Amino acid sequence: MARSKTSKKWMDEHLNDPYVKKAQADGYRSRASYKLIELNEKDKLFSTGSVVMDLGSAPGGWSQIVAPVVGDSGRVIASDILPMDGIAGVTFIQGDFTEEAVYDQLLKALGDDTKADLVVSDMAPNMSGVNTTDQYASMYLVELALDMARNVLKPNGSFCAKVFQGVGYEEYVKDVRQSFKQVFVRKPAASRPRSREVYLVAKGFKG
């Protein structure tokens, strides 16, 4: 079956993307790794000893960056519906974290007496190509990620999530501001310019 012009254009763009080539050269699983590297350099989201929860983690591009930085004294708990190859220092739970059984597994992995320093979400829904449908689906995911952050973060913890600008975006930013002292909107260099995605960085969880 012939590929559509749109998918061919995407494939050409993907193969010629400098960040895709750089990720392959650097041994990273995803070009998204560079987004988190830049965000952490700017906003100091995690460091040695941090406890981090990575939602929508597959193929592991973000966990791969976090784990070596937090080291043996820190922890990374990652989750995705899709499988993910193991990463040293990362506890991976496959499943939909919106389901109670998976949610409970994540809390168990975190530990009864432990709260997270940081919750990150690079989740995106399976895109249908229908803008309105995709926007609602993506907003639903980031709302769930925010709920998780509110449940597991320690006071003054941080939250970082990919959000698509569109219907529901402004309300979501207001909602995040209610729970955090500072909220920044970032557009990392590795984020494609024409993409509506931005990253919300929220710091100082009010608990």
Query: How far apart (Å, rounded) are the C-alpha atoms in residues 17 and 44?
Result: 27
Backbone angles phi, psi at 131, to 5 degrees: -55, -45
Query: How far apart (Å, rounded) are the C-alpha atoms in residues 164 and 40?
Result: 20
CB 164 within 8 A of CB 173: no
Task: Give residue 48's identity as a one-letter amino acid code.
Answer: T
| DSSP category for residue 125 | P
What pLDDT score does 1 carry? Answer: 46
DSSP string, 89-119: TEEEEES-TTSHHHHHHHHHHH-TT--EEEE
What pLDDT score does 9 carry? Answer: 63
Which residues does the annotation mark as catalytic?
162
Average pLDDT value over all residues in the chain: 90
| DSSP category for residue 189 | T
Q: Is 207 labelled a binding residue?
A: no
Query: How far apart (Å, rounded) are the C-alpha atoms in residues 120 and 193?
Result: 22
CB 60 within 8 A of CB 36: no
In the chain, domain spans: 5-205
What pLDDT score does 133 carry? Answer: 86
What pLDDT score does 19 carry? Answer: 62
Query: How far apart (Å, rounded) are the C-alpha atoms in residues 92 and 76?
Result: 8
Mean pLDDT value across residues 102-119: 94
Please identify which residue in the block is written with the tokens 């995040």: 176
Task: Give residue 9's identity as a one-letter amino acid code.
Answer: K
Is it the case that residue 7 has pLDDT exceeding 70? no
Is it the case that residue 21 has pLDDT exceeding 60? yes
Q: Is 61 labelled a binding residue?
A: no
Q: Is 122 labelled a binding residue?
A: yes
Q: Is 112 labelled a binding residue?
A: no
Q: Percent of the chain having pLDDT more than 70?
A: 89
Q: Is 10 labelled a binding residue?
A: no
- The correct CATH number of 5-205 out of 3.40.50.150, 3.40.960.10, 3.20.20.450, 3.10.20.740 is 3.40.50.150
